[in-house]
Amino acid sequence: MEMARPTTTPPLHDDGHAPAASAAAASMQAMSSSLFWGDRAVVLFPGWPGARGLGSYLLSLLFVLALAALAEALHAVSAHVAHRWRRRGAVVPALLLTAVHAARMGAAYLLMLAVMSYNGGVLLAAVAGHALGFLLTRSWAARAEELEAGHGAGAGAGRGRDRVPPSDDAAKA
């Protein structure tokens, strides 16, 4: 007595086509839900970089790294504009902040989709891009704050070394 082997293909309709739900489930089985390492990934768009070779894969990693750094830079720009225009109730800064926020969120969602390729290299490129962007933009923001503090404290700010101390005669009077 021989038992029938179970099949993995979905049952067909009378017209010979698989039902839509079964076709979607079959395609979901092909997707991996764990990280893999290799240069034959699909990042953001079908066929890109795909099987085009190591050069295309490295270019896609560079794109992901730059996109993550851009997201961090947009965050720093947003914080800088918000700090600088805090006391002014103008519409232009609000519109600028909204545009920067929209661009930042667009970059973040593209990064999320890229990381969902489940490629380890793409994940590392995204993390490295965020780290690089944080390093570069925070050092820029710190320098901008120092310059702003030096010029914004009054006419004699930053020139304390050039001032002559008062004489003893002036202190006694």
Q: Which of 23-32, 42-51, 98-107, 144-153 tops mean pLDDT? A: 98-107
Neighbour tally for 22: CB within 10 Å: 15
What band does 127 get if pLDDT is binned at 50, 70 and 90?
Answer: very high
Query: Mean pLDDT over residues 48-71, rounded?
Result: 90
Query: Mean pLDDT over residues 30-43, rounded?
Result: 74
3-class SS of residue 42: strand
Indicate whether 26 pLDDT > 50: no
Residue 13's pLDDT is: 53
- 10 Å CB burial of residue 2 (0-12, 13-18, 19+) is exposed
Is 51 within 8 Å of 40 (Cβ atoms)?
yes
How far apart, in whole angstroms, are the C-alpha atoms of residue 39 and residue 60? 10
Record the pTM: 0.62
